[in-house]
Amino acid sequence: MELKSGQGGNFHPDYSLALDLYFRHNPSHISSTHPEVIKLSQTLNSLPIHQNRPDAVRFRNLNGVYMKLCNFLRYDPNYHGVGLQRGGRLEQEIWNEFAHNAVYLRQVAHRIIDGMRLEDSQTPAGNEDEETEFPEGKVLYRQHKSRERNRGLISKAKQIAQQNGNLKCSVCNFDFYERYGDLGKGYIECHHTIPVSEYTQNAKTKVSDLSLVCSNCHRMLHRRRPWLTISELSSLILP
């Protein structure tokens, strides 16, 4: 049984958690009955994002989880065998995303598991395109978006900026009102600056955790792992 991505080709936390286990326990040295494989199988079956289970008995079972680990072998330059040739494009993409940053991946894995306890029907679904570009998976993406959609904090952040006469993108200084007139008056997006790898279960978002940004800069901030800071992205803007 192969672990597949969700509807629309979105990344799932499955890939991040499986690769994290791969780095901690190489499948060449363990079997499908290893305690960590059993634990991961149980965790994946508990993720609150798998609504369609074509085979509930085999879904994320021990053999399937172990096969997923073996699929990563073919991308590992330290493995001198061939590895399983099954698998898909998303496995290679998640390998390329995290293979050189196992410490960050471990942090992400911890946050995904913490996030499972928070994910419920009240957690806002996100834009499918944005979810696809969020390798950490839907659970953390939706946590991130829920923090950016705290209306009370967003209003306070905007109020502070307006009082200072500076409701502009903190990266490129784009002003929606200057460009679009009344249509853009009071509009700007909020970026939650705390990386997903540092999310904790009971952490409360503060105004100081938010940065006001335009839509373009918001997407660019998320394009690297770890995320770019406001100053780092500002330094990349071409003259």
Question: Could you read off the pLDDT of 127-137 as tens digits, one per residue?
Answer: 445 555 555 55
Lowest mean pLDDT among 36-45, 82-91, 136-145: 136-145
Which pLDDT score, from 0 to 100, does residue 89 have? 75
**Taking 80 as the threshold, does the pLDDT of residue 191 lie above it?**
yes
Cut 0.75: pTM above it: no
Average pLDDT over residues 192-201: 71
Euclidean distance between CA atoms 57 and 41, whole angstroms: 12
Q: What is the CA radius of gyration of the chain?
A: 20
Which pLDDT score, from 0 to 100, does residue 170 have? 95
Euclidean distance between CA atoms 205 and 229, whole angstroms: 17
**Helix or strand (DSSP H, E) at 128:** helix 128-132
Average pLDDT over residues 93-101: 85
Euclidean distance between CA atoms 68 and 122, whole angstroms: 31
160 — pLDDT class (breaks 50, 70, 90): very high
Average pLDDT over residues 219-231: 84
Euclidean distance between CA atoms 186 and 167, whole angstroms: 7
Contact 174, 168 (CB under 8 A): yes
56 — pLDDT class (breaks 50, 70, 90): low
Q: Tell me the domain boundaries of the chain.
A: 7-121, 150-236
191 φ, ψ to 5°?
Answer: -110, 125
